[in-house]
């Protein structure tokens, strides 16, 4: 893999054909250039269909033959999901793909004509010039089991968002129609609370059921009984909830609960599928042996990173997650050093969410976190320490997945510099 701009530029020779493609939902536009930026051939418009892709491939081969070009590199913007199909086609045709940052395209399109105009004919040239100058990245398209894991974790991510949306809507419903319900049940997702919401969600229905009727519905459920039923009835009698539109309100709640149970069932099925997939990845079992690291953190890391062997160093994964440091300094002014927040934001979020239970439950990480935040020289804030531990976890995951070694807690402690030992030395 090439990372520096010079190395990217050196890949282009006089035998290289550089093509810029403006990707859209239905029709794509493409323009061809040589390695110096001189346009060759005419602009082509082709559809996002098999026939259109064939026409594009024929157009490329004609230009290659006419201008004696041996290598082809196609640049494009990662516009939503529209580039997936053409990228797969180009990969099957053994044509190199380069992705350019849409922000760079927006900023550099005025260089030629000093005009901010955006058009389907203008953008392909801007994209091709960025590729020519080495301002691009080579996309990673997962294959085999890594593609399966990423798709499955994407499904899980979408289900989590839908479940959170439903949970918030149910909380809103309770605040409007039965706010005292939350005083009786600390969690509406418990078995007894769900039964109550299905059978007698409104205060008036709770009063109608009475204590004995409620207890009958809760038979067989532990930790709830007559005392909880009495509290619920008393709360219903004193309720300040809205008393209008109750029939439609009850229907709304039942619809939300049905959707919640469906999404929960789908989520459980997806997680079973994810576990069946990631268990096949070498080193996965070693990752989950680290106390505090669960299935979601380990599987999510593999889904976002893909094949670990494509990386030469864990710092590359750190940059992929946007956890590499950036500094804003000029002259005598020294700005604050922060993380770049570039790359895969889902990987960054997953690592940060995953490190908190690790620090809470893992003795080594907890001791390291305490050291970083209390050391005499350059003590870190708690959030800074967590970010540093995220990078530490990346290095550990990288070692376990690439080398197949077991997790060694003692190696974690090498980061702690003991003042007593330094004085003795």
- Is 138 a domain residue? no
Domain boundary among 82, 106, 132: 132
Q: Which residue has the tokens 């550990």?
A: 396
> What pLDDT sits at residue 167?
97
Q: Is 364 part of any domain? A: yes
CATH number at residue 10: 3.30.420.40
Domain housing 371: 284-420
**CA angle, 192 then 253 then 188, to 5°:** 30
User: What was the pLDDT predicted at 106?
Assistant: 84
What predicted TM-score, i.e. pTM, was given to this entire model? 0.85
Same domain, yes or no: 409 and 293: yes
Query: Which parts of the chain have pLDDT scores under 50?
Result: 1-2, 419-425
**Does residue 228 sit in the same domain as residue 269?**
yes
Whether residue 258 sits in one domain with residue 298 = no
In a shared domain, residues 207 and 239:
yes
Whether residue 268 is found in the same domain as residue 154: yes
Phi, psi (rounded to 5 degrees) for 314: -60, -20
253 within some domain: yes
73 inside domain: yes
Do 113 and 219 lie in a common domain? no
CA–CA dist 401, 404 (Å, integer):
6
Q: Are residues 229 and 319 in the same domain?
A: no
Q: Point out the domain boundary residue: 252, 275, 298.
A: 275
Cβ atoms 284, 303 nearer than 8 A: no
On whether both 99 and 178 belong to a single domain, the answer is: no
Same domain, 262 and 164: yes
Provide the pLDDT for residue 121: 84
Tally the domains of the chain.
3
- Residues 260, 305, single domain; the answer is no
Kind of pairing between the strands at 71-76 and 44-47: unpaired
Contact 401, 308 (CB under 8 A): yes
Q: Please indicate, yes or no, if residue 242 is contained in any of the structural domains.
A: yes
Which of 275, 306, 328 marks a domain boundary? 275
- The reply to whether 157 falls in a domain is yes
Secondary structure (3-state) at 148: helix
Alpha-carbon span 354 to 177, nearest angstrom: 36
3 state SS for 299-348: HHHHHHHCCHHHCCCHHHHHHHCCCCEEEEEECCEEEEEEECCCCCHHHH
Is residue 141 domain-resident? Answer: no
Residue 177 forms part of a structural domain: yes
Q: What is the pLDDT of residues 102-111, one digit of tens each?
A: 888 888 877 7
CA distance 407 to 167: 38
CATH of the domain at 209: 1.10.287.4070
- Contact yes or no for 135/104 (Cβ under 8 A): yes
Please indicate, yes or no, whether residues 73 and 155 belong to a single structural domain of this protein.
no
Asked if 398 and 334 sit in the same domain, the reply is: yes
């Amino acid at each position: 893999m090439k990372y520096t701009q010079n190395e990217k530029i050196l890949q282009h020779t006089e035998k290289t054909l550089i093509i810029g493609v403006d990707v859209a939902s239905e029709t794509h536009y493409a323009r061809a250039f040589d390695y110096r930026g001189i346009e060759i051939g005419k602009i082509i418009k082709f559809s996002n269909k098999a026939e259109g892709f064939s026409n594009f491939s024929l157009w490329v081969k004609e230009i290659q033959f006419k201008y004696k070009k041996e290598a082809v590199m196609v640049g494009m913007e990662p516009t939503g999901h529209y580039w997936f199909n053409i990228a797969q086609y180009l990969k099957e045709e053994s044509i190199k793909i380069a992705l350019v940052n849409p922000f760079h395209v927006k900023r550099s399109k005025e260089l030629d004509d000093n005009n901010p105009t955006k058009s389907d004919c203008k953008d392909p040239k801007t994209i091709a010039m960025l590729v020519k100058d080495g301002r691009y990245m080579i996309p990673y398209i997962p294959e085999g089991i890594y593609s399966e894991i990423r798709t499955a974790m994407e499904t899980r991510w979408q289900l989590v968002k839908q479940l959170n949306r439903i949970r918030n809507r149910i909380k809103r419903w309770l605040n409007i129609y039965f706010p005292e319900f939350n005083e009786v049940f600390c969690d509406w997702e418990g078995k007894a609370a769900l039964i109550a919401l299905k059978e007698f969600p409104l205060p008036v229905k709770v009063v109608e059921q009475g204590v004995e009727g409620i207890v009958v519905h809760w038979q067989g459920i532990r930790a709830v009984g007559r005392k909880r039923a009495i509290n619920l009835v008393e709360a219903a009698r004193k309720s300040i909830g809205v008393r209008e539109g109750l029939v439609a309100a009850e229907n709304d709640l039942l619809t939300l609960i049905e959707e919640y149970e469906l999404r929960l069932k789908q989520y459980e099925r997806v997680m079973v599928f994810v576990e069946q997939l990631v268990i096949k990845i070498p080193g996965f079992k070693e990752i989950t042996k680290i106390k505090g690291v669960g299935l979601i953190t380990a599987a999510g890391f593999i889904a976002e990173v893909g094949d670990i062997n494509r990386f030469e160093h864990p710092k590359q994964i750190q940059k992929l997650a946007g956890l590499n440091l950036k500094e804003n300094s000029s002259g005598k002014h020294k700005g604050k050093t922060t993380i770049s927040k570039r790359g895969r934001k889902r990987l960054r979020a997953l690592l940060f969410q995953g490190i908190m239970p690790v620090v809470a439950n893992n003795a080594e990480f907890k001791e390291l976190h305490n050291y970083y935040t209390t050391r005499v020289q350059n003590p870190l804030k708690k959030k800074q320490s967590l970010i540093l531990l995220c990078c530490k976890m990346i290095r550990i995951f990288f070692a376990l997945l690439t080398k197949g070694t077991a997790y060694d807690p003692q190696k974690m402690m090498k980061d702690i510099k003991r003042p007593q030992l330094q004085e003795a030395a």
